[in-house]
Chain A
């Protein structure tokens, strides 16, 4: 079920009203039922995978906690990691790996092209369960935290199942930690009108970002990526930046709807974005972009690599970004994207002193703020460029796009033959960025906190009118659903 679908418009109010009517003791059951129903709207059978993952980690978590034997604890952890990563590998990466291996072997003449095609079609039809990358990472963090002694296992199977399947964040995060979310399922939640109001405003803001801004930008981006050789030059530059904003608004829309929906139900989820486009460096950008994933990679991959496996920091960064790319999708385009991002971060860290020394020699003194601004400018343009790989369906298509991009023959950009839409898109980007600058990604409700009723209601009506008149009625999926 998509957030931006008619089904969700009916589902969510019913879920909320019945939830608050239920006695506190049994609310988990209602929410779990809603979550499974929500998930089953994609494919009924996939819920069994979710249940299997839940049962495995629930059982292993308890066993791990009960035994004092260090080696046995390690075995239980390995079993949990194997189960989760194995599931992820089978459903998401098996086809990709078998195809890649066959292609490499074909390249060296070990197999013929028919074998490559056979291997592609043999695994290519495995259905990718929606949200598998998100919930396996969530369950993995649960097992690792128990192993590390950071948390106690959850003994209530229903509440643990709810932690894995909680519908607002099930299919595209934020990837929540057990230490943060599970205790909330035990707390008695009273109706808090202010929290519900904030939640509804956050959800509405998310719908606005998705339907009015991201989907609008997507029209131009799809057009440019559909035929880059046919629209060379400036339009491809514009589409490159538009895609940067599209994916940001699309994903942050999902995250903010998830945060808002959870808030309406009385729960707090982490904010996945914190003004990433105002970052002054790549390091800062990755602390602000998809924070729940980046924190996960930091805590469960980077730190163990450096601390336990004694890997050099720069190699660990490289591994983290390689995995970050691969996590996004079973395609070399994502791997290249991840590697390019990692290399830039290493470059940034490696040249920090050198860059400052060069700028120190400048005849005009350059203040710290200007330096930060300039480097932030370079960083964001570079990251927008790497996104070409993220958006393209193959490395070849990405290279065609890049080649066509620099084939500037004339000044034109109106490839969609709709100048009004392009102007609206740019104005909306400016508006949203200004709002994010002043209110952050998650404090949008402060805009509606004026004491004067006339101002407050005028703002509500203007927002509703903007939503009704400007929204694209595409009901298309959020980009991050595919991951």
Chain B
């Protein structure tokens, strides 16, 4: 076989492979990718950042309704992820900055804090933080404002493609919004969430937190990165550091793990001159599906409360 013929055939096979891959990916993008895909599509004027508590607990739609177009920069995006995916560090800071729409000056940035945002494995050194974060979804992504975002499919879509084509989620309890918010509904006509289920999930949450935190410690480098992130966000608008409400058992456990959390966060907030609001005192005003994350209606209620506090400020 001649070399040119061989290269021609090889190229043909590569084209078939790439064409098939991108067609399947496009088909999936057109329907449903996963919980995080929407966060990587377009730039935002205002943002919610943090871990899963703000991911479930703060609705950009409510902020959109509460503030007029001339009051804050829009669109509002929930750019929170979950434990291990978006702890504070230079990787998350860089991606947050890349998400901010050009020319934004009056953005509102809700920076959510929980112990999970500041953890590193107990045997890691402070210098390892960036290396650890580079392996996360945020570390892998170079383009965070592309629609359709094929980079996301290539680097972050972990399921086999047939799943995205044949089975798309029929579960309407957990709803993913275009604005990045993940809503956990109190139940639907087809799926009832009982008190017993909530109790079980809450118990499991606490057990898993206990398991996780045994091997983790609070990182000074992450606290510094958090401060840097707030300082960076201040250049684009107003920043509010927020601790979302959680069930008392979870709060007690976290306080035992990191008793100085509030004082440390408060001192950083004071240093960079932004407010720090701790809503954990109001824990009994809200409902949680697992003790740590708010149910949909509570999330809306909490976001409304947050919007009122922002207006008062």
Contact = CB atoms under 8 A, between A and B. Distances in A.
A125 interface: yes
Interface in B161-219: 161-162, 165, 167
Interface string B1-18: 111001000100100110
Interface in A8-32: none
A473 B158 contact: yes
B16 A461 contact: yes
Contacts of B158: 472-474
A124 B121 CA distance: 13
Given A191-B3, A473-B157, A200 B16 contact: no
A469 interface: yes
Nearest to A227: B211
A467 B154 CA distance: 14
Contacts of B159: 472-473
A464 B20 contact: yes
A470 interface: yes
Contacts of A125: 123, 125
Interface in A174-214: 191, 193-194, 196-197, 200
Nearest to A476: B158
A402 B162 CA distance: 35
Contacts of A197: 1, 6
A473 B123 contact: no
B138 to A, nearest CB: 15
Contact of B160 (A191, A200, A470): A470
B6, B16, B160 pick with most chain A CB within 10 angstroms: B160
Contacts of A474: 158
Interface in B10-46: 10, 13, 16-17, 20-21, 24
Contacts of B157: 473
Contacts of B162: 469-470
B13 A460 contact: yes
B154 A194 contact: no
Contacts of B154: 6, 473
Interface residues of A, number: 25
A121 interface: yes
A468 interface: yes
B160 A467 contact: no
Contacts of B13: 460, 464
Given A6-B154, A472-B160, A473-B154, A196 B6 contact: yes
Given A461-B16, A464-B13, A469 B3 contact: no
A254 to B, nearest CB: 20
Nearest to B24: A468
Nearest to A20: B3
Contacts of A193: 1-3, 6
A464 B17 contact: yes
Contacts of A101: none
B146 to A, nearest CB: 17
Contacts of A194: 1
B17 A468 contact: yes
A465 interface: yes
Contacts of A472: 158-160
Given A125-B123, A464-B16, A464-B20, A469 B6 contact: no
A474 B3 CA distance: 34
A368 B215 CA distance: 54
A468 B123 contact: no
A473 B159 CA distance: 7
B125 A469 contact: no
Given A460-B13, A464-B17, A468-B17, A121 B24 contact: no
Contacts of A6: 154-155
Nearest to B6: A193
Interface of B: 1-3, 6, 10, 13, 16-17, 20-21, 24, 123, 125, 154-155, 157-162, 165, 167
21 contacts: A6-B154, A6-B155, A125-B123, A193-B2, A193-B3, A196-B6, A197-B1, A216-B160, A420-B167, A460-B16, A464-B16, A468-B20, A469-B160, A469-B162, A469-B165, A471-B160, A473-B157, A473-B158, A473-B160, A474-B158, A475-B155
